[in-house]
């Protein structure tokens, strides 16, 4: 049955003015099946290429991305509204991830000997086949890089379904892979809507699935994978706590929290979403936060000097505005902002909220926009109760001059990553991922490379010493 759709939700809509720039036709079931067949066929050869040869291509991908960082950055800004300087930064970290695996994969994938009383034992890491990767729009190059760089270098092939609002970024990456010399079928985009993805997981030629996105999308993918006993990894939402201890450098903590929260329009899974400040320094922190807000420059994300652009879409801006309205109705204090801006595009005022309590929905929700939520604590136990009081466990921060004490607090936060005196960051060698409903599995680093390989044991025993 052919189900080619006439009208597609896959399109570039510039959130700066909400104009439709380009539309893509969704693929038919037959087209999708053919792409998966080709990826499976390509795997037969790709798995037997040396890691060195694969790394050669990854070096080239990295170099092309760096050479075209401004063009790539402009495309991300056009499709999802992030400030251009931040978009270029995203391309640079993506190139660094390709470079990291190109340089280190041979060592990371090398056989690992295991000490045994007799004979020989070692682990060898073998690719498993076609990986289905489903990715979100908030970092259109970085998110796809995290899965593609690792799993393709490990010898798998990949079909990638990117978010429907960043189709040109997806196309750009497929073109770059081709230009770098990646053989046909090793990486291919699927242009389909998110709701049509779960049935694709059942295709027997798909060997595993990875998704970065929201909890409902993750649950749907994981359920589809579990039904056919396939491995999945999920990188889901977060509501990262940012605990400020009373000995912290207050100005540095304010600047780090405000800049971190406003980056990418507040649409970052690991953005410092809940700022939890010691009572002793709370008033100073609040006053300095207002000063930092006065420096935010809202405007055209392509313009130099703009620090906050639109949200990714009209719907995203409406959804966050509705969350703020509900919080205000439930008794939260909107200190600054809180409304849609009176201008074209998916703009929302940078918003500062205090007095959020567990009686309000916002206390438990992820707010995916430029919304700074300030909490006050009197004892460290209170701070940890707030920090651990949501379903999420992705990243987090502890700010304090006594870094040993800060690290002790970090150990008590239920999270996948905690940074001391820094907003949750990213580096190619550092494993990224969460716990609780923020998902499972890791990307980046050695852990990310080994998620979709068969860790095979080979054991040789001495003939004179049977089991």
Residue 180 vs 197, nearer CB to ligand NAP: 197
Q: Is residue 406 near ligand NAP by the rule CB under 6 A?
A: no
Rounded CA separation 233/211 (Å): 7
Q: Three-state SS for 257?
A: helix
Q: Taking CB under 6 A as the rule, does residue 138 contact ligand NAP?
A: yes
194 lines the binding site for ligand NAP (CB under 6 A): yes
Of 86, 156, 164, 444, the residue at the interface with ligand NAP (CB under 6 A) is 164
Cα separation, 243 vs 349, in Å, equals 25
| Binding of residue 213 to ligand NAP (CB under 6 A) | yes
Which stretch, 20-28, 34-42, 156-164, 328-336, contacts ligand NAP (CB under 6 A)?
156-164
Binding segment for ligand NAP (CB under 6 A), chosen from 176-184, 303-311, 351-359, 432-440, is 432-440
CA distance 64 to 408: 43
DSSP three-state, residue 14? strand
How far, in Å, CA of 244 to CA of 462, rounded?
Answer: 59
Q: Is 163 in the site for ligand NAP (CB under 6 A)?
A: yes
Smaller CB separation from ligand NAP, 147 or 156: 147
Largest CA distance in the chain: 83
Q: What is the DSSP letter of 182?
A: P
Under rule CB under 6 A, how many of the chain's residues touch ligand NAP? 32
Q: Spell out the residues 6+ positions from residue 450 whose beta carbon is closer than 8 angstroms to its own.
A: 108, 125, 154
Crossing angle of the two packed helices 84-108 and 69-80, in degrees rounded to 10 = 120
Is-contact 198 224, C-beta < 8 A? Answer: yes
The pattern of x and - marking residues 323 through 362 that bind ligand NAP according to CB under 6 A reads ----------------------------------------
Task: Find the binding residues for ligand NAP in span 364-403 (CB under 6 A).
Answer: 366, 368, 394
Answer yes or no whether residue 217 interacts with ligand NAP by CB under 6 A.
yes
Stretch touching ligand NAP by CB under 6 A, among 148-156, 213-221, 302-310, 370-378: 213-221
171 binds ligand NAP (CB under 6 A): no
Can you list the positions of beta strands (E) in 245-292?
272-278
Q: What minimum distance in Å lies between the beta carbon of 368 and ligand NAP?
A: 6
169 is catalytic: no
Looking at 228-278, list the stretches that DSSP marks H as alpha helix, in order from N- to C-terminal side. 250-262
Pick the closer one to ligand NAP by CB: 224 or 292. Answer: 224
Comparing CB distances to ligand NAP, the nearer of 64 and 418 is 418
Closest by Cα among 254, 255, 257 to 240: 257
Q: What stretch of H or E contains 215?
A: helix 215-227
DSSP bridge pairs for 336: 352
DSSP, res 446: H
Bridge partners of 376?
277
Contacts of 408 (CB under 8 A, 6+ apart): none
Show the tokens assigned to 326. Answer: 């509900």
Using CB under 6 A as the binding rule, whether residue 150 contacts ligand NAP is answered as no
Q: Report the C-alpha dihedral over residues 196, 199, 204, 210, rounded to 10 degrees.
A: 60
Binding mask 265-304 for ligand NAP (x = CB under 6 A): ----x-----------------------------------
Q: How far apart, in whole angstroms, are the C-alpha atoms of residue 210 and residue 78?
A: 26
Q: How far is the CB of 96 from ligand NAP (least distance, A)?
A: 17
Q: Name the catalytic one among 79, 90, 235, 366.
A: 235
Is residue 212 involved in binding ligand NAP (CB under 6 A)?
Answer: yes
Helices 403-411 + 380-387 axis angle, to 10: 50
Least distance CB 23 / ligand NAP (angstroms) = 14
Cα distance between residue 279 and residue 334, in whole Å: 19
Instruction: Tell which one of 214, 307, 330, 461 touches ligand NAP (CB under 6 A).
Output: 214
Segment interacting with ligand NAP, rule: CB under 6 A, options 15-23, 235-243, 275-283, 286-294: 235-243
Verify whether residue 235 is a known catalytic residue: yes
Which of 81, 129, 238, 272 is in the footprint of ligand NAP by CB under 6 A?
Answer: 238
Q: Is 38 in the site for ligand NAP (CB under 6 A)?
A: no
Could you tell me which of 261, 283, 279 has the C-alpha nearest to residue 270? 261
Q: Which of the following is catalytic: 79, 90, 99, 269?
A: 269
Residues that bind ligand NAP (CB under 6 A): 134-138, 143, 161-164, 193-195, 197-198, 212-214, 217, 220-221, 235-238, 269, 366, 368, 394, 434, 438-439
- Which residues have a catalytic role annotated? 235, 269
């Amino acid at each position: 049955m052919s189900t080619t759709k006439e009208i597609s939700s896959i399109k570039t809509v510039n959130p700066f003015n909400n104009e439709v720039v380009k539309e893509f036709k969704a693929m038919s079931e037959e087209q999708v099946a053919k792409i998966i067949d080709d990826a499976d066929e390509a795997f037969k050869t790709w798995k037997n290429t040396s890691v060195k040869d694969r790394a050669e291509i990854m070096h080239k991908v990295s170099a092309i991305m760096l050479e075209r960082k401004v063009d790539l950055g402009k495309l991300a800004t056009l499709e999802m509204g992030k400030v251009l300087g931040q978009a270029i930064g995203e391309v640079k970290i993506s190139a660094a991830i390709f470079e990291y695996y190109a340089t280190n994969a041979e060592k990371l994938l090398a056989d690992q000997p295991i000490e045994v009383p007799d004979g020989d034992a070692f682990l060898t890491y073998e690719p498993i086949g076609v990986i289905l990767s489903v990715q979100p729009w908030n970092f259109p190059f970085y998110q796809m890089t995290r899965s593609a760089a690792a799993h393709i270098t490990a010898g798998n092939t990949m079909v990638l379904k990117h978010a429907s609002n960043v189709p040109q970024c997806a196309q750009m990456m497929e073109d770059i892979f081709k230009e770098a010399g990646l053989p046909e079928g090793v990486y291919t985009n699927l242009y389909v809507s998110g709701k049509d993805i779960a049935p694709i997981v059942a295709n027997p030629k798909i060997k595993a699935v990875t998704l970065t996105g929201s909890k409902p999308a993750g649950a749907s993918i994981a359920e589809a994978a579990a039904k056919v006993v396939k491995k999945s990894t999920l990188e889901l939402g977060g509501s990262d706590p940012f605990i400020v201890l009373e000995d912290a450098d207050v100005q540095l903590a304010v600047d780090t929290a405000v800049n971190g929260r406003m980056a990418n329009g507040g649409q970052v899974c690991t953005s410092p979403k809940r700022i939890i400040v010691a009572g002793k320094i709370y008033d100073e922190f609040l006053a300095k936060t207002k000063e930092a807000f006065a420096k935010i420059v809202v405007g055209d994300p392509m313009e130099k000097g703009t620090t906050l652009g639109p949200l990714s879409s009209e719907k995203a801006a409406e959804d966050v505005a509705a969350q703020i309205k509900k919080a205000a109705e439930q008794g939260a204090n909107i200190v600054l902002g809180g409304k849609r801006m009176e201008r074209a595009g998916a703009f929302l005022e940078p918003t500062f909220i205090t007095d959020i309590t567990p009686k309000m929905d916002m206390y438990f929700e992820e707010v995916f926009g430029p919304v700074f939520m300030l909490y006050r604590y009197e004892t460290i136990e209170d701070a940890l109760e707030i920090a651990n009081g949501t379903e999420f466990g992705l990243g987090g921060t502890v700010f304090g001059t006594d870094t040993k004490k800060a690290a002790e607090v970090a150990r008590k936060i239920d999270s996948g990553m905690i940074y001391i005196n820094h907003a949750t960051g990213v580096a190619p060698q550092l494993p990224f991922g969460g716990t609780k409903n923020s998902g499972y599995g890791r990307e980046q680093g050695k852990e990310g490379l080994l998620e979709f390989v068969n860790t095979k044991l080979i054991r040789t025993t001495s003939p004179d010493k049977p089991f």
